[in-house]
Structure 1
């Protein structure tokens, strides 16, 4: 039994379907299913009842889930306890980041930092929010790169690295926009040379395809709709590339950061600004009031000097 298998079983228990769990874990549904079956074989216990169309957890599975949670928490705590003792005698910095470095031109800056401070060993891990946030709280990561709304929820100290904001993403076709529920008048406005910003209230009336539920972008979108007293019609979630493809064929509209369109192919869609404030900058976060190591101070000073105020 491995910690990956424990993590996989926790994801299955906390998701509605195997497909949703596999998406959270960024593995295929087939891989996830094989790992759970391998776990059951090793334990010689059936954790899931597959006799019906939809698998359900057995009593043994419920008990095992509680043990998995304790093991997972213990593992994260252990990593946090050991963090100060790793690689004593050399400067080591563990940086956790969302997979956003290329679109904000941060890869070259991190390379320049490493070249400027060759005596410092920078360990860089690109992970999604479900791994990034626990890693930061447990002390696995000394510093993280995330979105501002996440830093505010963590009550962390932070400073901005790059600006960004959400845009409405709609099909580049008046006919498809009308099929989605936009009025003829609004369609003419959207396809004018200088379209007026869209309101969230108008977007709430049409099918929406948002980023996966575990992402900070999804949570930010939900809060935006709540603040505008709008109930969004979310038909599904997905990754950026699949969302853009779905919007291009008229499956729905979306809300995505503008920076995504610097790295993803985006024919047959158009970006429309929003009336509401949708700023969602990328920030560098560190714990408030905690000790700052020489390595942390070097990284923070480097980026603060390179980032326009």
Structure 2
């Protein structure tokens, strides 16, 4: 088995679908099937339980996944050591990211790459997901950590990196504050405090309210989550924010209420399809693939 086959196995284990995994890896489905079969032949056992719609790891697959991730990590570290010793291997990697980096350890990824790769340089820009997508289209970024509610479009390769769920942040004096879980429809007629209108989060929240059958009453929208939460603590309304992203900003007087059914958002590393990557870009992608959050 080869290191590329092992990395493909890790991606398939995460996505659980041959077609989607092949698209992510920019190879044909038949090639991916053949590569996975090669690993299984080498190990002498099947690693997945296969159905018509998805594949899931069996006992042996879960066992191998631990080692596959470790092999990928060691291979990345080996590449890093050689890049730092070889002459003439250098270049820039242009990375965009959503503003909320710390809760998802995006800053850790960037710092580790720069710290370990003396010959490579990072150019980092912060913007909302919608703006980052425009930058990817125009070639201003090699990669972008973006937030998405689904993977309905096929414009870019997307490597799942982290996930989060939407929560309602309610003043403790509000009657909903005593509930552990609410439905989004229960926010009808409430004053909502959202991130700015030009953000992905605003579109997500308004869209979910409309799917629940009502037009949201948005009394404030802004770019700073800390301002929004201060207004919540003062009883000005209910905020809709991502749970992990807002956890460090919660202050006294605010109750965090889960929403059912869950409204999930995936933070993915997006990058253009059918573009030949530079060596620095390939190396950055390999780091993200092996990074443990």
TM-score of the superposed pair, with normalisation by structure 2? 0.64
| Runs of 4+ with >4 A deviation | 150-154
Deviation of residue 293 (structure 1)? 2.2
Match of 1:41 in 2: none
Deviation of residue 118 (structure 1)? 1.6
Matched, 1:298 2:283: yes
Match for residue 201 of structure 1 among 185, 193, 201: 185
Structure 1 unpaired stretches of 5+: 1-87, 178-186
Matched, 1:271 2:256: yes
The answer to whether the Cα contact below 8 Å between 2:225 and 2:246 also exists between their aligned partners in 1 is no
Match of 1:95 in 2: 95
Match of 2:44 in 1: none
Match for residue 221 of structure 1 among 198, 201, 205: 205
TM-score of the superposed pair, with normalisation by structure 1? 0.61
Match of 2:112 in 1: 112
Matched residues, number: 205
* RMSD value, Cα: 2.3
With over 3 angstroms needed to count, the CA separation of the structure-2 counterparts of 1:288 and 1:204, relative to structure 1, is: farther
- Could you give the per-residue CA deviations for residues 253-281 of structure 1, whole angstroms, max 9, x where no partner exists? 01101123333252211110001221112
Match for residue 232 of structure 1 among 213, 216, 229: 216
Match of 2:274 in 1: 289
Structure 2 unpaired stretches of 5+: 1-87
Deviation of residue 131 (structure 1)? 4.1
Match of 1:137 in 2: 137
Which has the higher mean CA deviation after the structures are superposed, 115-124 or 149-158? 149-158
Q: Alignment partner of 1:280: what SS?
A: strand
**CA separation in 2, counterparts of 1:139 and 1:254?**
35
**CA separation in 1, counterparts of 2:241 and 2:153?**
21
Deviation of residue 231 (structure 1)? 1.9
The answer to whether the Cα contact below 8 Å between 1:213 and 1:237 also exists between their aligned partners in 2 is yes
Match of 2:232 in 1: 247
**CA separation in 2, counterparts of 1:99 and 1:284?**
14
Give runs of aligned pairs for residues 61-72 of structure 1, distance below 5 A.
none
